[in-house]
Amino acid sequence: MITRVYRGFRKPLLWWLYRKVYAIDECMPFYSFMFTDSCKYDNGDEQGDWNKLYGISNSLNPHLFSYRIAWRYLKEEDVFELAPYYYDKGIRYIYYNRHKVVANVKFITYIEFDNVKREVIFNVDDKELLKLLNVPRPLCFKELGLYIGGTCKAKHTMKFKRRRIL
């Protein structure tokens, strides 16, 4: 499956209502992703902004409680940097335990939730990037999709290859 992100793309007003909702005892999705060369960009001063690859939220407002894998292109190194990115009670956190991938190489990512231990674990290529402890116990999760932009929008069409594994 190829996902396209168009410059200036507008989402439906209540876009988050269209995402799949998972019961807490269901398996969270595992994805295989691949950045293509079209994902490389130069945003000048905004180059450090984080884009969102995918994630899960246990709130109708993803800026209240959500867990995502964020990414950005590091032009100097010609690699894509992935990082755990989450909101807890409306406060945003981006962690420094990061993982780097190159264009046109597949990688696997998943966000694991343990409702008994109340943990959220962020994984990329079987490397644990972050484990959050004592997270709130939700009734369900909503899957969050790809989002490009922090303070800038994508300046060109980007193509990602994404395949759901579980």
| Poorest-pLDDT segment among 1-5, 120-124, 136-140 | 1-5
10 touches 149 (CB < 8 A): no
Using the predicted structure, report yes or no on whether residue 84 has a pLDDT greater than 90. Answer: yes
Of the listed ranges 3-7, 107-111, 129-133, the least confidently predicted one is: 3-7
30 or 10, higher pLDDT: 30
Within 8 A by CB and 6+ apart from 11, the residues are none
Query: Does the pLDDT at position 44 exceed 60?
Result: yes
pLDDT top residue among 44 and 75: 75
Q: Does 55 score more than 80 pLDDT?
A: yes
pLDDT confidence tier of residue 79, bands split at 50, 70 and 90: very high
Residue 62 has pLDDT above 80, yes or no: yes
pLDDT top residue among 90 and 20: 90
- Domain 2-164 architecture: Sandwich (2.60)
Work out the mean pLDDT of the chain and round it to a whole number. Answer: 79
pLDDT at 78: 96
The answer to whether residues 137 and 117 touch, using CB atoms and an 8 Å cutoff, is no
Q: Which two tokens stand for residue 36?
A: 């293509």
Annotate 103-119 with b (16+ C-beta within 10 A) or e (fewer). Answer: eeeebebbbebeeeeee
pTM for this entry: 0.81
Q: Is 40 exposed, middle or buried (0-12, 13-18, 19+ CB in 10 A)?
A: middle
The Cα–Cα gap between 164 and 105 comes to: 16
